[in-house]
Structure 1
Amino acid sequence: MFLRCSIIIVFIVWAASAYAQEQRSLQQRADAHFQRAEYAPAAALYEVIVRKKPSAEIMEKLATSYRAVNKYEAAAGWYEKLLQQPGAAAINKRYYGDMLKSMGQYEAAKVQYSSWSSEGNAQQLIAGCDSAMAWLKNPVSLQWQDLTALNTPNSDWGTVKYGDKIVFVSDRGNDKRRYKRNKHPFLKLYTAQPNGAYVSSFHNAMDHFPYHSGPVCFSRNEDTAWLTVTYPRKVNFEKAERPAVYGNRRLELLTYVKKGATWALLAPFPHNNTAAFSLGHAAISNDGNILYYTSDQPGGVGQTDIWYSTRLSDSSWSAPVNCGPQINTTEAEEFPVIAPDGTLYFSSKGHAGMGGFDVFAAKGEGKQWSTPLNMRVPVNSSADDFSFMIDGQSRGYLSSNRKGGIGDDDIYAFIMEMSKTPFVEPDRKVLILAATVLDKLNNNPVPEAFTLISQPPKDRQWTQITPADGTNYLVLNNDSKYTAAAYKGGRKALPVEVSTAGRTGNDTIRVTLYLDAQTVKESLAIENIYYDFNKSSIRADAAAILDKLVTLLQEHPSATVLLTAHTDVRGSDAYNITLSSHRAAKAKEYLLQKGIPAARIATGFQGKRAPADDCDPCNEARHQSNRRTNIQILKN
């Protein structure tokens, strides 16, 4: 695949040998693998090193290695640990958000994106999370077809039609030579029946390369093919210009013609330049006059873009032209496919999507395109979805590394009524609230204060604890009204009204909340409630305390209550955020059932981020002290 690898990481051999190595030598070996983009062995060695040397540098390289090979859970775990280290770069909040998004944990991902940046890229990522949650509730009509005969535990992807068969890419071969990044055979072309049966190698003329070969695309009459291959020589960088990752091989495009029943190499594509960039993953227009392809050549919009060349009168190809910013973003666009009706299908990490690569559809040609439409659920998932193709009878194939598959990448067959493809949705404005809590006495930021953002018409509240800079972030809805307030101990900031009405574009609304020097006149104390391990249900002892709370609130009708739920320190941050949100919701539900109005109940959840007992290790009694909901009653 183009600049993308899905790798099964095998640690046993690496870890066993790693323990026998001296620490300095071990890190040198790990760093050498990392610099060569050999992320599987790099991760195996960094796992050993980090146990003895838990530094931010090692954690970042370990998280990066897992991210590069699409091991989302492992990467998220290390980004979580990294971001607790002093001096961790802010960009890692974005990468942590990406991993959470690829795991389908959209609310947790939004928190990371919001705290990373309020700039355009973050807003687009947040919009993707919001859209994903909406699309999950309104999936596109699609019927999956059985392809269990085709997929393997390795990587299978990039399906195209060829006569009455399909051709695809796979690393299922028995070649003793292995790709160093994952120890699998190199990618080659295979053919099969449309139902995945009778798999065999495609053609010797396209199968003899020392490294990867594929994917391929065919002209409409199937007499010409454009094959992507890995250029056999490593890129030689000048020492002074050597990038952080070196030793990569690049992709090039080769043109083949069919002679009788065989294929023969005609020529390399004239605009290959393996000394400077990669070029591959071709798609040909139905009339054969425009060739689209993916490249990271200079002059593009983002990391990888979709480009095209037009066939000239002498049958040569024009110089590459970028498809433009309607298609390409500052991130990666790859895997172009032209459908029989002329629609361009491609995958993007830059347009608002569900996570990883999402499939998009656009009408047009050359540089003129309609706004790309996300193909939505179930075509897209939180993982990588790519190489989408569909024929004139609404039958098609999709490649994905989504959960539930057999291997690293799997091919999925489907039937889709094209009249039921995604509708055009209006552009969503992304509005972010930045609420900063300052001490009224000295104007300094106040850490560990509660910000309470409420949306009265919908009886919704959000509670967060401020970090060192005193600022919390929240994504707001369009055309809505909010109230922002802050508390710390017995101190309170006067509420500030916030409105998103009339906001015409992406924007950040900044408010300052000043904690008064005086304490709140009356604060009513009540003890915490506690939970069983991994549970959110209200225990009998907790119900007794909540009953006392109900009585206090009835006796003080102007009082409000803030319920902030926590977990113990076991498990991932993302999982505990969800668990604590359930605990807060259960406590609020109990009060509602007892007749307390929703407008008087605010909830917050902190997962394991604010333990009452910061123990390590913890016995069960100390874990129990952390599994709690803190109850704070304030009189207005």
Structure 2
Amino acid sequence: MKVFIKINLLILILMSSSFSYAQRAKMNKAQKEYDRFAYIDAQKIYLQVVSEGYSSPELFEKLGNTYYFNGDYENAARWYEKLMKEYPDQTEPKYYFRAAQSLKSLGDYKASDTLMKVFTEIGSRELVIQNFKSNPDYLKKIKAKPKKWVLEPAEINSEYTDFGSAFYGNKLVYASAKPDSTARKVPIYEWNNQPFFDLFEAEMDENGKLSNPKRLPGEINSNLHESSAVFTKDGNTVYFTRNNYLNGRKGKDRDYNIRLKLYKATKKDGKWREIVELPFNDASYSTAHPALSPDETRLYFSSDRPGTFGESDLWYVDIRGENEYGAPVNLGKNINTEVRESFPFISKENVLYFSSNGRPGLGGLDIFYTPLDKNGMPTEIIIMAEPVNGKKDDFAFAVDLEKDIAFLSSNRNTSDANDNIYRATHACKVLLRGTVKDEITKQLLEEADLALFNEENEKIDSLKTDKNGGFNFNLDCGMQYSLRVTKDDYESVEKIVIAPDDAQEIELPIAMRKIGCPPNDLGCRLSLQPIYFDFNKANIRPDAEVELAKIWAALKEYPELEIKIESHTDSRGSKEYNMELSEARAQATLEWLVNRGINTDRLTAKGYGESRLINECSDGADCTEAEHQLNRRSVFLIKEEESIKK
């Protein structure tokens, strides 16, 4: 027995060792993918290891990071939470910070702030901690800011990642992972399993609408990444970001990673040529996202070079001549933190816009701005309000205030964490949305005509409803309008609309009433045939049941609808008898509906005998049977007009 026990113990030990070895082998494979930034491939291996019952702080850290660095904050939060819950003593401070950022991007500000308070006690990022402690009411302050911008997706967004915007005359230049349909083989970037970025240009009209996107011509695009460009005023020089790649040769750091560098290209014969690497690049760190000062004597950028406080800082160099530059200068702790500062842009007004996740914000990367002083250095740092900033990553803000147009990039409103480009108009606009329906049937009315008038009763816009009865107008904040709706066979509707003082969306449902129907005549408004009865009878005929079924359907669909049943006879017979007969018809009609589930509280029924003839067939008149038939009827009236919700 003891031998048997020993053998079984030995088997268990060997199985356990084999299991641990197998999981460690998978972890090592995943680590190799992770170290070369193949996060999607590494993620698949990590998830397989978890599914087989293995766990460790390293596993949860790396798995959370594969989501965090790809902007999938929901899954990042999930794995960081498991790390903190199962291995609290082995959780490094930075994961409390990343978990807090992830939760903020999900809109859970309370839980995020709780983790940030833990981070402030154990973390070492003093600039981040100082920013958090000095802004305890950051959320309230941000949300109290006036909403000066209205956002809408740019027309050139693809199913892939699109981001980064640069004004180039009457064009917008941006980066996109949209593959080249003419290429025989499309290289894939292992970080996110998408094609490498190229620089595109799109035509831009006076309202900022974009069209006809195509790759920049010439030698500027390569088999690796290009992104984040800035152009000189004469349009003949561009500074742009590219992987360390020039003249067909890749440059790598000591870990064999291809970093980012800044390059310059010159326009020759309509194409970008003469690609030159800027001399302050280095293979051992990244230099990216160029921005030019208004006088074009200084080039700002983002870098993790030595002297950086965090993951990336904002720097600048003075431009001294043709390919001559001063030494890189860090913009300092006033603007940079121990996390990420990136995507600088400088407006014509000498205001620096940038993105950071090291300052209190709404989630992920947020967009900030700071006026630059006479020395080109940042002054007060100000966060931009909603809707420019949201719960997810918001970055690469570029603005032309003279045209009241800006563009930014964000992974908001996407299920796959892809970035899209959004156009912002620098005006307070209210988006008026609504639908036009039939008042009773609730049928959506397509191609109803809508006209919008200003306070001076001048028509300023018009449109037709779409196939879903929908419409939308852009209104100026704080202004009063009148909206006129018309459609054949319907009474016209006019509504007064007062736009709020801040940018937002408002809903305005429109209910239209058919022409020619008394307000409370349900039969008319539902286009019903009359409910007729045979001579001297009160039973419900089969043809009447068809119309009653429509009444029943209306009562089921509109629970607040209450109706009155009025029944009548022809003139033949005594008035007393006809009164009793009409009452019987009214009750028979009511009972038909009650027997099919309609509450009696919603129905009333009354007979009127021969007192309400609809033709000349009174006592003694020479009328045909068909003419007498028209008087033997039940009609349906809406008891309270207000009972139908508009």
Q: Give 1:117 deviation, angstroms.
A: 2.8
Q: Give 1:23 deviation, angstroms.
A: 3.8
Q: Where do 1:59-458 residues align within 5 Å?
A: 59-86=60-87, 87-91=89-93, 92-118=95-121, 120=126, 121-122=128-129, 124-125=131-132, 130-147=137-154, 149-174=155-180, 175=183, 176-194=186-204, 195-207=209-221, 209-232=222-245, 233=250, 235-237=252-254, 246-265=255-274, 267-274=276-283, 276-312=284-320, 316-364=324-372, 366=375, 368-391=377-400, 392-404=402-414, 408-417=418-427
- CA 1:261–1:35 in structure 2 vs 1: closer, same or farther (change >3 Å)? closer
- CA 1:44–1:146 in structure 2 vs 1: closer, same or farther (change >3 Å)? closer
- CA 1:279–1:56 in structure 2 vs 1: closer, same or farther (change >3 Å)? closer
Q: Give 1:55 deviation, angstroms.
A: 2.6
Does the 8 A contact of 1:90 with 1:116 survive in 2? no
Find the residue that maps to 1:40 and give its secondary structure. Answer: helix
Does the 8 A contact of 2:40 with 2:193 survive in 1? no
Question: What amino acid is the match of 1:218?
Answer: F
- CA 1:360–1:24 in structure 2 vs 1: closer, same or farther (change >3 Å)? closer
Does residue 46 of structure 1 match 2:46?
Answer: yes
Q: Give 1:134 deviation, angstroms.
A: 3.9
Q: Give 1:24 deviation, angstroms.
A: 4.2
Distance in structure 2 (CA, Å) of the matches to 1:125 and 1:407: 26
Q: Give 1:28 deviation, angstroms.
A: 2.4
Q: What is the percentage of aligned positions where both structures have the same residue?
A: 29
Listed one character per residue, the Cα deviations across residues 123-157 of structure 1 (whole Å, up to 9, x for unaligned) are 5346667423442354422122452x311221101
Distance in structure 2 (CA, Å) of the matches to 1:165 and 1:311: 25
Question: What amino acid is the match of 1:36?
Answer: R
In the alignment, which residue of structure 2 is the partner of 1:587?
none
Question: What amino acid is the match of 2:266?
Answer: V
Does the 8 A contact of 2:57 with 2:90 survive in 1? yes
- Name the Cα RMSD after superposition: 2.5
Distance in structure 2 (CA, Å) of the matches to 1:153 and 1:216: 22
Q: TM-score, normalised by structure 1?
A: 0.58
Runs (5+) with no aligned partner, structure 2: 1-18, 429-646
Does the 8 A contact of 1:158 with 1:387 survive in 2? yes
Distance in structure 1 (CA, Å) of the matches to 2:57 and 2:310: 29
In the alignment, which residue of structure 2 is the partner of 1:34?
34
In the alignment, which residue of structure 2 is the partner of 1:25?
25
Q: How many residues align structurally?
A: 389
Distance in structure 2 (CA, Å) of the matches to 1:315 and 1:323: 22
Q: TM-score, normalised by structure 2?
A: 0.57
In the alignment, which residue of structure 2 is the partner of 1:503?
none
Question: What amino acid is the match of 1:219?
Answer: T
Question: What amino acid is the match of 2:91?
Answer: A
Does the 8 A contact of 1:151 with 1:407 survive in 2? no
Q: Which has the higher Rg, Structure 1 or Structure 2?
A: 2
Does the 8 A contact of 1:360 with 1:372 survive in 2? yes
Question: What amino acid is the match of 2:148?
Answer: S
Does the 8 A contact of 2:218 with 2:271 survive in 1? no
Question: What amino acid is the match of 1:259?
Answer: K
- CA 1:35–1:315 in structure 2 vs 1: closer, same or farther (change >3 Å)? closer
Q: Give 1:177 deviation, angstroms.
A: 1.4
